[in-house]
Structure 1
Amino acid sequence: MELPQRLAEQLDGKEGPTRQKAARLVVDLARVAKAASFVDVDHAHVSGVSVITGGHGLRTFLKDLSGDDQGTVVIPTTLNSAGCDREKMEEMGIAWPNFLEQQFEIVQAYDRLGIESTLSCTPYDRGIEIEGETASWAESNAVCFSNTWTSLITNRESGLSALATALTGYAPAWGLHLEENRRPNIRVVVECPLETLSDYSILGDWIGKNAKPEWNLPFGPMPYISGLDPFISFARKKALTAAAANYGSPMMWVEGHTTAPQDVDAIEWEGTLTFTQHDLQQRYEDLSPKGQVDLIVIGCPQASLEEMRTTAAALRTHMEFGDAVPNQRLWVFTSKENYNLAEADGTVSMLEEAGALVLVDTCPEVTPYNRNKYNHLLTNSMKAEHYLTSGLNRIPTSVATIEECVRHAVDPMRATGPTPTLSQAAHGGQTSAKTHQDGLTTINGSGLNSQDDFCIEGRAMVTDVPITYLGYVNRDTGVIEETGHPLDGRAIENTILIYPKGSGSTVAPYVLMGLLYQKKGPLAVINRDVCPLTLPACSLLNVPYGHGFEQDPCMVVNDGDLIRFKRENGLVSIEILERV
């Protein structure tokens, strides 16, 4: 693999230590992915901004990058949502100690790197002029939206890998940057009408939830969907792809709306899923409010003009009868750009007149809620539900249409009874296909070129189900907290952690880095698939890492086996020393 001249110079430190670190990560990822070349990237979007998402790992890492005059981005780069609207801290009632101070610290650190503080999780929705068609985006919903509905091409980057590309200008030519990999792997047949934004959101989440661990999905679920309406609005497209990204989907195809994949009839599908009216109704029943709702949140990802206007229209109906939202118990999150447009056309004033709180620069999933006030949320977004019920906030969250959300906002007693517990609100994970293995064996794989030889012995912690670090691995203890996950309740500290790949949010590396900084992380990490959500933390903090084994380590190694994991003369191996 030949490096572009500038990338080689960056790797040699000729453009300073910050770009050297970034170049090392880009090259590590390229070699792990067996990329033959690199792509020149036109635009980057970096995630990991809120205090509660990046946490200690993010703040420590950004502090380590400071002090290098040459350490600025070389391509246009924008920034994801922060954890608050700094102008409305009092209304939000954030009780997190020193939250605003820590949030400023993070945003200012990115500013010193030359990153534009757009503070939006929807870089595809106005306000950003992007020239070219090659990107490096680290916001899961934006990745799936852009690859599906626009000509922009991006892999599903982590916050760290996108930042590394922003600092160097290069990304490995692998994954979705290669045309042969932009192929669907799951067939989805929709047999019921979808009429609301939340219908589309439920479908997207349902697809990921029903993908099987044994399916070969190296780049995540990439469905080909048939049976949708002839017209799908911008907001519905956004709702569908955002929810599908919960489970790692980087792209989808929708019959009649996107360019059909070549030779679609010849594709050997990993599986076929059929979504029926019963499935839709069952999800609404499972997700409906059970107990009094404390707060309603709209805009995850940040609300488009269509979502804001739909919410305002629903509120207007109640206002005509003299009703309004008490105590600002309806929060609408949007980007600065859409706020300005909605302010100009009167939508913001209508929302505020009805009693809603309109917030910018932040998003429901990355806001720390005051638990003295809010212990049961209602939303129209499965993306919000996915992360709000996770360890980020651990708040029971229900889902309904925008119209039903507004009814609850206006009438606090629409749902009565005790506040539901998180276990009742949590969603189950994918099922495991692991079987117990006997006999001692050794399997060989690959490591990171930037790492020296190592030899580690320890107990393996193994799953064949992806791990979602953000929200489902406790950032303080390292305990996996995902109801239904095979490793739920287990700590990753001092284990040799083996799993297929990371899933969920692109902020995953910062969670892992935070645990490693606090000595709560694993001794080593082994992935089955190339994982840009895990590899960056291991590369930058020199955690022994392996991938690309001749057999699937998630299936060969039992959970609890005593193993020797070593790198010698550039070769990586796993030796089973003792079976459980």
Structure 2
Amino acid sequence: GLPADLNHEQKKALTAAAANYGCPLLYIEGVVPIPDDADFQATLIFGAAELAKRYEDLRPKTAVSLIVIGCPQASVGEIRAVAAALAGKTVAPDAPPLWVFTSSANKAIAEKIGIADQIRRSGALLLENTCPEVVPYDPSWVKHVLTNSMKAEHYIKSGLNGIPTSVMPLADCVGLATGDWGIDETRPAAAGTTKKAASVKKAAAGDKPEATGAFAASGHGLPSQGDFTVTGEAFVTDTPITLLGFVNRETAVIEEPGHPANGQSMAGKIAIFPKGSGSTVAPYVLLELFYRGKAPLAIANTEIDQQSAPACSLENIPYAYGFDRDIIANLNAGDLVELTRRGNVVTLRVVERR
């Protein structure tokens, strides 16, 4: 399990990675009191062996073009760690460049205490007020990125950039930059990598039984929206959707291998899914789809979604959440459905089965 004395950087890395996969709230046992009435949807056992297995899966197997640290933006503690790893060393001439991303506030502290100069003297770059996941990388030379961030790996390889991305601990990332080791060398495997990682079993998309017969459910709408009635084809998935990076922002097609809806488009349909996942930049993807005429006709979530709701509110895309019946189990992709709001009540019903 987790160490009892988690530091700020460890908490940041854990929560940032968890958010990528649809975790809106994280309780850390022994750090944050867990409510007595907590309704847990699943239990995942993740220990040292599982972490080591994940690192082994994500370690670089081919030449790296660029090393990035700071997603989310590096804290002062992480900048210190980079400076300590670079102490007395320089970025090797034949090694990948090392870029460290941080905020202007943290960079100012790093300048004041001298570690910013130490990083720059080594040949690394210290960048402020931007993030590795949104950098417009030059594809002529950036072919493979190495990072210490599970979050960065999730997004850099996605449709945002589409660049193969590997992950290693911070010290190993810096070690590659300084020439302390090379990709063709065998790195010591962490203890426990031979153990099988625990996982939560999830039903495959094809296991969902076909819904039949009449169906209607009542839910809630946004305070910023008024009455509406929309009718259209249902887009249905039981898996959260990562708008930023895994939904094509020109076509609304899901581009996430392994996702049950991979290859399917939400454009012009009533999109029905649990919630969004990943970065809070996601509303901008939905806004772009709206401006291109490729947004969903409406969105219905099982719980209010910070990814979808802001854009729906701004552009008046009909939105509903929190239904009194299971809208995912009782609707099929391709059903003709109607979403209606009258006052504070939103109703989603089947007009015709597919």
Q: How many corresponding residue pairs?
A: 337
Q: Deviation of residue 557 (structure 1)? A: 0.5
1:297 and 1:569, CA in 2 relative to 1: closer, same or farther beyond 3 A?
closer
1:565 and 1:297, CA in 2 relative to 1: closer, same or farther beyond 3 A?
same
- Determine if contact 1:328/1:357 at 8 Å carries over to the other structure: no
295-304 or 344-353: which moved more?
344-353
- Determine if contact 1:295/1:330 at 8 Å carries over to the other structure: yes
Q: Deviation of residue 335 (structure 1)? A: 1.7
Aligned counterpart for 2:146 among listed residues 378, 401, 420: 378
339-348 or 493-502: which moved more?
339-348
Aligned counterpart for 1:296 among listed residues 58, 64, 67: 67
Matched, 1:475 2:249: yes
Matched, 1:409 2:177: yes
- Per-residue displacement from partner, 1:225-275 (whole Å, max 9, x unpaired)? xxx3232222222222222222343443334434x3354xx7554333222
Larger helix fraction of residues: 1
RMSD between superposed Cα atoms in Å: 2.7
- Per-residue displacement from partner, 1:49-78 (whole Å, max 9, x unpaired)? xxxxxxxxxxxxxxxxxxxxxxxxxxxxxx
The one-letter amino acid paired with 2:321 is H
The corresponding residue for 1:218 is none
Q: Deviation of residue 448 (structure 1)? A: 4.1
CA distance in 2, matches of 1:517, 1:561: 26
Q: Deviation of residue 498 (structure 1)? A: 0.7
CA distance in 2, matches of 1:571, 1:230: 46
- Determine if contact 1:230/1:256 at 8 Å carries over to the other structure: yes
- Determine if contact 1:444/1:573 at 8 Å carries over to the other structure: yes
Matched, 1:389 2:177: no
Q: Deviation of residue 328 (structure 1)? A: 6.7
Percent identity between the aligned chains?
49
- Determine if contact 2:65/2:96 at 8 Å carries over to the other structure: no
- Per-residue displacement from partner, 1:536-565 (whole Å, max 9, x unpaired)? 222221222232322121111111112233
The one-letter amino acid paired with 2:47 is T
- Per-residue displacement from partner, 1:317-362 (whole Å, max 9, x unpaired)? 655xxx7355771001112222222223332222222211111111
Matched, 1:534 2:297: no
Partner secondary structure for residue 498 of structure 1? strand
- Determine if contact 2:95/2:178 at 8 Å carries over to the other structure: no
CA distance in 1, matches of 2:77, 2:60: 25
1:357 and 1:240, CA in 2 relative to 1: closer, same or farther beyond 3 A?
same
Matches within 5 A, 1:1-20: none
Matched, 1:254 2:22: no
Matched, 1:232 2:6: yes
CA distance in 1, matches of 2:225, 2:241: 24
Q: Which residues of structure 2 form unaligned runs of 5+?
A: 185-200
CA distance in 2, matches of 1:468, 1:363: 18
Matched, 1:525 2:293: no
- Determine if contact 1:311/1:403 at 8 Å carries over to the other structure: yes
CA distance in 1, matches of 2:219, 2:81: 52
Matches within 5 A, 1:97-496: 190=1, 228-258=2-32, 260-261=33-34, 263=36, 269-316=40-87, 318-319=89-90, 324=92, 326=94, 329-411=97-179, 414-415=182-183, 434-448=208-222, 450-496=224-270
1:449 and 1:346, CA in 2 relative to 1: closer, same or farther beyond 3 A?
closer
Q: Normalization by structure 2: what TM-score?
A: 0.86
Partner secondary structure for residue 364 of structure 1? coil
Partner secondary structure for residue 258 of structure 2? coil
Partner secondary structure for residue 341 of structure 2? strand
Q: Deviation of residue 529 (structure 1)? A: 1.0
The one-letter amino acid paired with 1:244 is A
Matched, 1:513 2:281: no
Aligned counterpart for 2:331 among listed residues 549, 557, 561: 557
